[in-house]
Structure 1
């Protein structure tokens, strides 16, 4: 995977977002700008990436002939929000984080937070007459097993006396029966759920115990959320151990079980959606990146997947991260924005500037001046 200096190179820049600093499109543009400044004769292609979580919609909008749509939704705290989704021909792409993600909802009510806003968007998608739906579920604020979305789609969840349960994980604790008669049918070509984690629904690696604390749940609330999801599982009787079932607080499980959705690893699916396989064909250098490269990055995350694609085509793999907290795969080269900027604060405050600096440095160190 050596880079031959002195000839025109094909360089593909395919980073994930740097959460809290820059989205994937900004990251890609800055890295590509730095490389072009250092080596203006090279062919540099930008393909912003995501792993099925936040940023998936933007990656699709940047890469495909997509039309952006919006739908007014109600967040769990009652605020109105205009959620974006994309129409690509007769296929819809929806991102849960755009509808009711943690940055929108916050972590003040982990038991009451739900996915009703997602369901509202899914109803709009069905009303648009789409034939296929791709749903990215990372970045959720709730642990309701997707019950809010399914209720918006017409599923009834009632307690022992036949009354509708309250929203969120709290409602699942009281759930005694589900009534599917009013549930709207999925699109004719089906629903694909992109998962950014492989967690099962329940247990020590499941939705409540691993991700509940990130959404504001205390140990006692985590225990309640776990019991609620177990009750949900008893009612729906799906595969709680399915890889990715615990994604988005169990939303992946709910949609797979009650709506027939197929779960897929997010990074590979997004790479297909944005045409990354065609982009890397014939590449000499493939640059990817994320806010923090760690031991999980090579397993299912966008950066690890992009590096694997680079290796498959014999290209030199490069990782640019805010912080390099683990070793890179053999043959890959890495740069840290924190090291370049002299500290984490400086790197976050002006991430595009330091990304451009690193892009230029990578070009000169890997291939030399034109």
Structure 2
């Protein structure tokens, strides 16, 4: 069936010879006549997992992020004859703070992304029920909304034979982020693609995947205090204008961070991650104890420490798991002593796979 619809043109650009470890995705929108035939479901139930993410990474505000292994959201979708064809019905939400999330698919991150994927696939004769398990706490600075969107996008795509590419899944998930927290892909892109991702451009969307060497060890120390840091409030704290010296400094630190990722230089990564002079200085004072927690992490042996996303989670990087646990203990103590906040910690590795179908 042919219908007039908004479609996306996406091209993959492999790295030039001699430049290993990078892949570019460029996407642009246009209105055209879609000839995509409606796909048939290939399963009755599909479950997908999407990992947590660390956005910004210090100087990379809104254009750098990475996925971390072991934390994330799970979305299950199933063909449901009781649901109107072409629509999504959110049947249940479990896990962290389920009552705080809307079951209206037009106001739920997972629902918005799932609907967008159905539109891209031109699905009109099948209705789906969706079940969301929140493995991530809300407002943690670990890409909670992005993980829900990414898991839903992947689950619906798998339900219909995995017809969409990674770039289209990012675009579908961006629709969700745009409605909930703003049009930025530094959470959804790494959650879907895995590893480190650089957003080179938003108009058109162009993504560069940065390959951290597999033989190198990298651990993220994630310490989350019992404190809410709403994204809107944390974004409102940012300056409307910045001076040229800070602009030059942050650009150089972001460049150094990218180089460190490609080289597997964890010490260099940590140094750059700790060096933001624009965003972190405005946000850290809003999180009780954050500045002292960063100092405690560095004294305990972390290569670097900053705020994960909008916070309140603090993230430190190190190349040894046991050292990571020791650093976590110092950071927890500092949150309690200097911020009067209880905190919990996890020491996790880089998630290189991104959102994927699971079978358990």
Q: Same fold (TM over 0.5)?
A: no
Larger radius of gyration: 1
What TM-score results when the alignment is normalised by the length of structure 2?
0.24
What TM-score results when the alignment is normalised by the length of structure 1?
0.24
Q: Which has the higher helix share?
A: 1
